[in-house]
């Protein structure tokens, strides 16, 4: 019985140790899991192809997989967590002619979305 | 026992609560009788399966006998007749009777007056009309809780099937014929349905939503749907309205109260009030609307809606602002 219980504890510990961390190393305070959920909720995938998001095969805007490696957002803004979150929240503030709509994304949801997108290498 | 009960609970929760189209999460009397029938069939099948397994196990474990000891008396020859024909026939007949009885519980009697909706299946969306008003909807039906609803089902092209397991069983939409079902939603809620007869490339993206509301909420919704389209509220929406009602969109879509009188695609008079776009393919929000306008075939290959790459980002935003404002 003790052996069984010890084994169970060990398995749980192994599972916890192997699970990827939800905290983003690049975006302070950003949750990767919450960002993945927000990306689905706001249906980013209708316009953007995003690896790891079911149905996110959009061909209207640029693919977002690997966006962490790009220098510029929308071809004009330096790619930083703050700028990307700002772009997600209000794209027209940076580029008035963009088709990307302002979807009323909250500050924290935008930060989580950046954390998730920056985790896709 | 408690572990078994917990397992049953987990299975029930998994099937009933997290599945939007579960046959065991009935929200009306018709679906409830079907749900009971489902359980009867599952339990009966499980019992029969268990008995057969036990008998096979007993046969395999039986001590071998010599050839001379094989019993060939008429009494023993009766075993395959009783076990292989009579008992299965009795069980199947009993299940048939249960099935017929549960179908008789459908509230199909025509003496009760009902709110009538006509649903026309298209590849791949649902056109919906009320019998007594000019309002036309698409892919979303609102019904008053506790009242008898009659749905008349037609098809504009191929055979479709209207399936909403929380409210009713499947019923086909046959070209050239009209099928009728009667149903009651007795719990307010949002229920998902799906075409259940393979109808072509986008059969899987041919869903619909039924919203069951309190009767007064329903009447308010119906009154608002019967009105003409709301006029544009600001300059962005005005620019969008000009593009939508006088441009390519008007060739296929109707927006009542505007020059847009097309009859090919869904009526858009109140498109902003709907929960989904393109028959459940996308949630209804500005991003999905823009994506759908500019490149619908990339999202639903085969759709009648063409790609419209001629619109600029600002034009797309204006059209979306106008359409999303049509509540």
pLDDT tens digits for A84-101?
Answer: 999 999 999 999 999 999
Residues of A in contact with B320 (CB under 8 A): 101
Q: Is B298 on the interface with A (CB under 8 A)?
A: yes
Q: Is B103 left (phi over 0), alpha (psi -120 to 50) or beta?
A: alpha
Query: Which residues have C-beta within 8 Å of that of residue A15, sequence separation ≥ 6?
Result: none
State which H helix or E strand residue B298 sits in.
helix B286-299
Read off the pLDDT of residues A52-66 as tens digits, 9 standing for 90 and up. 898 888 889 999 999
Nearest CA of chain B to the CA of A98: how many Å? 5
Query: How far, in Å, CA of B323 to CA of B300, rounded?
Result: 20
What confidence score (pLDDT) does residue A18 get?
Answer: 44
The per-residue pLDDT for B39 is 93
B 261-290 residues with CB below 8 A of A?
282-283, 285-288, 290
Q: Say how far apart CA B108 and CA B110 lie, in whole Å.
A: 6
Handedness of CA B104, B107, B111, B117 (dihedral sign): negative
Q: What pLDDT score does A15 carry?
A: 47
B55: alpha, beta or left, given left = phi > 0 and alpha = psi -120 to 50? Answer: alpha
- pLDDT for position A1: 43
Report the residue count for chain A: 121
Helix A107-117 vs helix A32-41: crossing angle, to nearest 10: 110
Contact residues, chain A, for B316 at CB < 8 Å:
99
* Residues from chain B contacting residue A43 (CB–CB below 8 Å): 282-283, 285, 287-288
Closest CA to B142 of B245, B223, B239: B223
Which chain B residues touch A63 with a CB distance below 8 Å? Answer: none
β-strand partners of B75:
none
Give Cβ neighbours of residue A38 (< 8 Å, ≥ 6 apart): A105, A109, A112, A113, A116
143-182 in chain B: CB under 8 A from chain A: none
Q: Are B115 and B149 in contact (CB under 8 A)?
A: yes
Q: Is B257 left (phi over 0), alpha (psi -120 to 50) or beta?
A: left
Q: Tell me whether residue B96 is exposed, middle or buried, using C-beta atoms within 10 angstroms of its C-beta: 0 to 12, 13 to 18, 19 or more.
A: exposed
The one-character DSSP state at B134 is: S
- Count A/B contacts: CB-CB distance under 8 Å: 51
B309 touches chain A (CB under 8 A): no
Q: Which long-range contacts (CB under 8 A, 24 or more apart) does B131-136 make?
A: B133/B222, B133/B226, B134/B226, B134/B256, B135/B222, B135/B225, B135/B226, B135/B269, B136/B254, B136/B267, B136/B269
Instruction: Using the Cα atoms of residue A31, residue A36, residue A42 and residue A48 in order, give the sign of their dihedral.
Output: positive
Q: Between B291, B316, B320, which is nearest A46 by CB?
A: B291
Structure token pair of residue B325: 């404002």
HSE of A7, CA atoms in CB hemisphere, 13 A: 4
Q: pLDDT digit of tens for each residue in chain B (327 aa)?
A: 455 556 555 555 555 445 678 888 888 888 888 888 999 999 999 999 999 999 999 989 887 766 666 666 777 778 888 888 999 999 999 999 998 888 776 655 556 778 889 999 999 999 999 877 777 899 999 999 989 899 999 999 999 999 999 999 899 999 999 999 888 898 899 999 999 999 999 999 999 999 999 999 999 999 999 999 999 999 999 999 999 998 889 999 999 999 999 999 999 999 999 999 999 999 999 989 999 999 999 999 999 999 999 999 999 999 999 999 999
Question: Does the distance separating the beta carbons of A46 and B287 come in below 8 Å?
Answer: yes
Q: Which tokens go with A4?
A: 């069984």
Provide Rg for chain B, Cα atoms.
27
Q: What is the DSSP string of B225-268?
A: HHSPPPPP-SHHHHHHHHHHHHSTHHHH-B-TTSS-B--SS---
Q: What residues of A are in the B interface, CB distance below 8 Å?
A: 42-44, 46-47, 57-60, 96-103
Q: Which residue of A has its CA nearest to B290?
A: A99
* pTM exceeds 0.90 for this model: no
User: B155 burial class (0-12, 13-18, 19+ CB within 10 angstroms)?
Assistant: buried
What single-letter DSSP state applies at residue A68? G
Alpha helices per DSSP H over chain A: 2-18, 32-41, 81-89, 91-94, 107-117
Q: Is the ipTM of this complex over 0.85?
A: no
> Can you give the pLDDT at residue B288?
92
The pLDDT tens digits of the residues spanning A12-44 come to: 444 444 455 788 888 888 899 999 999 998 889
Q: Do A60 and B291 touch (CB under 8 A)?
A: yes
Taking the CB of residue B185, how many other CB atoms lie within 10 A of it?
26
């Amino acid at each position: 019985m003790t052996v069984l219980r010890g084994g169970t504890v060990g398995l749980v510990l192994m599972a916890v140790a192997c699970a990827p961390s939800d905290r983003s190393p690049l975006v302070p305070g950003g949750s990767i899991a919450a960002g993945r959920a927000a990306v689905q909720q706001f249906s980013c995938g209708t316009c953007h192809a995003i690896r790891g998001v079911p149905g996110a095969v959009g061909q209207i805007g640029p693919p977002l997989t690997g966006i962490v490696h790009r220098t510029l957002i929308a071809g004009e803004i330096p790619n930083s967590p703050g700028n990307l979150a700002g772009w997600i929240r209000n794209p027209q503030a940076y580029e008035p002619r963009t088709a990307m709509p302002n979807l009323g994304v909250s500050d924290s949801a935008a930060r989580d979305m950046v954390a998730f997108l920056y985790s896709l290498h | 026992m408690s572990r078994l009960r917990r397992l049953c609970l987990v299975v029930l929760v998994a099937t009933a609560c997290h599945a939007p189209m579960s046959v065991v999460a009935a929200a009306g009397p018709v679906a409830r009788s079907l749900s009971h029938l489902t359980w009867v069939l599952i339990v009966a099948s499980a019992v029969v399966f268990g008995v057969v397994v036990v008998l096979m196990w007993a046969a395999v474990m039986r001590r071998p006998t010599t050839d001379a000891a094989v019993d060939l008396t008429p009494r023993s020859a009766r075993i395959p007749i009783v076990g292989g024909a009579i008992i299965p026939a009795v069980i199947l007949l009993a299940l048939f009777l249960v099935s017929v009885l549960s179908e008789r519980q459908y509230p199909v009697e025509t003496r009760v007056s009902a709110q009538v909706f006509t649903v026309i299946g298209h590849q791949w969306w649902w056109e919906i009309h009320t019998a007594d008003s000019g309002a036309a909807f698409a892919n979303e039906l609102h019904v008053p809780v506790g009242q008898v609803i009659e749905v008349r089902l037609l098809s504009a092209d191929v055979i479709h099937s209207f399936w909403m397991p929380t409210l009713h069983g499947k019923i086909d939409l046959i070209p050239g014929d009209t099928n009728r079902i009667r149903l009651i939603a007795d719990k307010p809620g949002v229920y998902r349905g799906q075409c259940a007869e393979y109808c072509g490339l986008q059969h899987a993206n041919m869903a619909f939503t039924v919203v069951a509301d309190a009767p007064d909420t329903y009447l308010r919704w119906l009154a608002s749907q019967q009105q003409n389209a709301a006029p544009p509220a600001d300059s962005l929406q005005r620019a969008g309205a000009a593009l939508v009602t006088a441009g390519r969109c008007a060739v296929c879509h109707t927006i009542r109260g505007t020059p847009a009188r097309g009859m090919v695609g869904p009526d858009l008079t109140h498109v902003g009030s709907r929960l989904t776009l393109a028959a459940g393919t996308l949630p209804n929000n500005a991003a999905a609307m823009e994506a759908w306008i500019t490149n619908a075939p990339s999202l639903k290959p085969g759709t009648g809606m063409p790609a419209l790459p001629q619109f600029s980002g600002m034009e797309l935003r204006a059209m979306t602002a106008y359409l999303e404002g049509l509540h």
